[in-house]
Amino acid sequence: MHIKEVGSLVRERRREVRLTQAQLASQTGISRATIAGLEAGSLAEIGFVKLQRICESVGLEMRAVQAHQGRPTLDELMALNRQEYEQSHAKKSRFRS
């Protein structure tokens, strides 16, 4: 995920929890200018610890996951589609009973 996407998520979540940038800055000990830059996508770099404090303060969780190694195969897409269909169909069947 690109830093601009993270900044957008932080901004959306901050607004959902009804915090101003100044309040978030006060909670995290990070300048309001840094938070504004992150949210605007104009911040070129932010340290991991700072980003973690910001995310935790607005209720976001940071995770490291293995990146995809290229595009999924047709078989993988079909299996995923089949699995989602079966799960959806199972839910509908429960409501009809």
Contact predicate 43/7, CB 8 Å: yes
What is the reported pLDDT for 24?
A: 98
Question: Which structural domain, as residue segments, surrounds residue 8?
Answer: 3-58
pTM of the model: 0.66
Is the model more confident about 12 or about 44?
Answer: 12
Mean pLDDT value of segment 65-75: 77
What is the reported pLDDT for 50?
A: 96
Residue 15 counted as domain residue: yes
Q: How far is CA 70 from the centre of its chain?
A: 21
Residue 17 counted as domain residue: yes
CATH of the domain at 49: 1.10.260.40
Residue 32 counted as domain residue: yes
Number of compact structural domains in the chain: 1
**Both tokens of residue 66?**
């293995």
Residue 72 counted as domain residue: no
Residue 43 counted as domain residue: yes
Mean pLDDT value of segment 51-78: 86
What is the reported pLDDT for 92?
A: 60
Q: Is the dihedral of CA 60, 62, 65, 69 positive or negative?
A: positive
Residue 24 counted as domain residue: yes
Mean pLDDT value of segment 62-76: 79
Is the model more confident about 4 or about 66?
Answer: 4
